[in-house]
Structure 1
């Protein structure tokens, strides 16, 4: 999604009188192409899977293959649940919010001016001032903010586009999600500076989580509510990545932790990935991984030894801990 936004922004900035409305139309158009391309790629894979890797066990466990006399990789099953996940939600939502607030509502900066600083990666003293101005706008996760509104709008649009790819004839059920994939570092390297104050090449936002530092206090409660509100709603997940200090994860705080979990799921949340880690220990391990070779952290949908992660990946975990 962050790369789609970059393409849309570059397209409308060259037009006369760019507006947030024009940017949204361009973003929606290119997002539809991205979703279509993803779906076409999956369909291509399924078309040739029977030659690449025919199934054996699934033919016996699924309804359809025996009844049709057709391998499950060759259309034998009645339904194929196929997930398409969006990445970079918070980067895009905060970018839309920052543009709408700082350019259109407050008129503190112009379109050409922000484009200049994006192209020059917010360089210089003035560039840093502009970066902080854009970064400290109404971000996703604040609660009822512009960022929250844009995040919901983006999630709804993405979900709508994915669901439209469903094919009843072949039983292809495309399911939208905002899963917390671990390649935020690699994706970020392909995206230049963005209007939310993110510098060129830095990682994109993690799954459905708001950007690190989105709120000063009450981050757990705010995050639980924000992520619950942007769920695609078709059976795939938009997880909440939650970092807890061991000092909080005690019996005395059981009611608080339980309430946050219950509220998140009651509001529509689908999955929580929890880390319980000592901040001081993680920071020391980040500086010298050899000190704690047995330290295991929850990355997203999987765990890993902290010392085996790259420095960039360790930084992602550190950022989440410092801001949650």
Structure 2
């Protein structure tokens, strides 16, 4: 589990909604085909979109909550949760002492990477009041996104974005602080709403496996991602393959986010090569890494210690690897029982060698 909870005292619908922050960016860009004159205009428009859809999300979640109350009361569970018996109320009616509803914000890494591309690569704004040479105009980028990077010269532009624009997960303030700003904004918007059980909505950032279907709901994005490709796994993890400066740099990027605001929990996925953690020296490295994670104030981290070759062989020959357990994003599973898409996700995650 990833979510923060108080056993026996809380009825927290911790995953009542998965909120697609990247889709909010897509909707904002679609609503302004002419582009934006400044990054400030883009930022304000995106904030308006997020605020609007968080409000719609809260209404939808309340509808679901009321349906649970009317059609799926849980008397046995209610007997085991503090205050339900004293109040004479089922947990679905707000009988528990604490009654939050958790909403996961998905896509922080993709949003940050996309915004730095738009600010630096299209608007020519270096984020410090200076000017840099843009990579493309609004018209050029919008055209490439609409074609899913398939037109003449689009792949060159995509590769330039992938290789020249800074990426979240590499300890680069310019992009990491964009992620911080919008994760904070999302969290504060979520906290504004009270649910029908008398509790508040709580922001979180872990994906379970929703980064795959939520990615499928999005077209191509300015970070170089293809249409319908998965979003970054975990919740706070970098986008697959873009954390190029080692696991410590990823820790530093995550530490710049306001992790305390993610009161419903958050998650960083890390994959290590088994050779990196072999023997006493490897164990010492892992201990140091976990200590750094703790000191940086990050809520939750989870590991896969498995090499790409083993995962690929398990995908091709599942009968040889029936007992291979992997961590997905908030839960563990037998690798051979996962969908092909999730298997590919885990295979393609950056394999750190320390």
Does the alignment reach a TM-score above 0.5?
yes
Higher helix share: 1
Gap change, CA 1:166 and 1:266, over 3 Å in 2: farther
After superposition, the CA RMSD in angstroms is 2.1
Q: Are 1:7 and 2:19 an aligned pair?
A: no
Between 1:39-48 and 1:25-34, the stretch displaced more is 39-48
User: Contact 2:273–2:351 at 8 Å: present in 1 too?
Assistant: no
Alignment of 1:250-261 (within 5 A): 250=278, 251-261=280-290
Tell which deviates more after alignment, 136-145 or 87-96: 136-145
Question: C-alpha offsets along residues 4-29 of structure 1, whole Å, 9 cap, x if unaligned?
Answer: 110011112236x5432222222111
Tell me what 2:155 maps to. 128
Among 22, 37, 55, the alignment partner of 1:36 is 55
Gaps of 5+ in 2: 1-20, 125-132
Residues 295/107 of structure 1: CA separation in 2 closer, same or farther (3 Å cut): same
Measured in 1, the distance between the counterparts of 2:214 and 2:317 equals 26
Q: Contact 2:107 / 2:231 at 8 angstroms: preserved in 1? A: yes
Closer, same or farther: CA 265–125 of 1 in aligned 2, 3 Å: farther
| 1:186 corresponding residue in structure 2 | 213
Contact map agreement 1:176 1:232 (CA 8 A) in 2: no
- TM-superposed CA distance for 1:255, in Å, is 2.4
Assess, with a 3 A threshold, how the Cα gap between structure 1 residues 258 and 309 changes in structure 2: closer, same or farther. same
Q: How does 1:151-162 map to 2 (within 5 A)?
A: 151-162=179-190
Highest RCO, 1 vs 2 (Cα 8 Å, sep ≥ 6) = 2
Shift of 1:200: 1.0
User: 2:46 pairs with 4, 27, 38, which one?
Assistant: 27
Residue 113 of structure 1 deviates from its aligned partner by 0.8
- Among 96, 100, 113, the alignment partner of 2:140 is 113
**1:41–1:134 Cα change, 3 Å:** same
Aligned pairs for 1:179-258 (under 5 A) are: 179-206=206-233, 207-217=235-245, 219-230=246-257, 231-250=259-278, 251-258=280-287
Residues 232-252 of structure 1: CA distance to partner in whole angstroms, max 9, x if unpaired? 525322211011111122321
Listed as ranges, the gaps of 5+ residues in structure 1 are none
Q: Does 1:293 align with 2:322?
A: yes
The 8 Å contact of residues 94 and 138 in structure 1, kept in 2 or not, is answered as yes
Partner of 1:261: helix, strand, or coil?
helix
SS in 1 for 2:275: coil
Q: Distance in 2 between matches of 1:140 and 1:234?
A: 18
Structure 1: distance between partners of 2:270 and 2:252: 13
Distance 1:249 1:7 in 2: 43
Q: 1:107 to 1:302 in 2, by over 3 A?
A: same
Match of 1:305 in 2: 334
1:319 shift after superposition: 1.0
1:243-297 C-alpha deviation (Å, 9 max, x unpaired): 1111122321222211221211221211112111133211222344344333222
Q: Shift of residue 124 of structure 1?
A: 4.1
User: Aligned residue pairs: how many?
Assistant: 321
> Matched residue of 2:114: which SS?
helix
Quote the offset at 1:161 in angstroms.
Answer: 0.5
What's the secondary structure of 1:84's corresponding residue? Answer: strand
User: Using a 3 Å threshold, how does the CA distance of structure 1 residues 174 and 309 change in structure 2: closer, same or farther?
Assistant: same
Separation of aligned partners in 1, 2:151 and 2:49: 32
Aligned partner of 1:266 in structure 2 is 295
Q: Secondary structure at the match of 1:113?
A: helix
- Equivalence for 1:150: 178
Is 1:164 matched up with 2:192? yes
* Residues 132 and 197, structure 1, Cα contact 8 Å, conserved in 2: yes
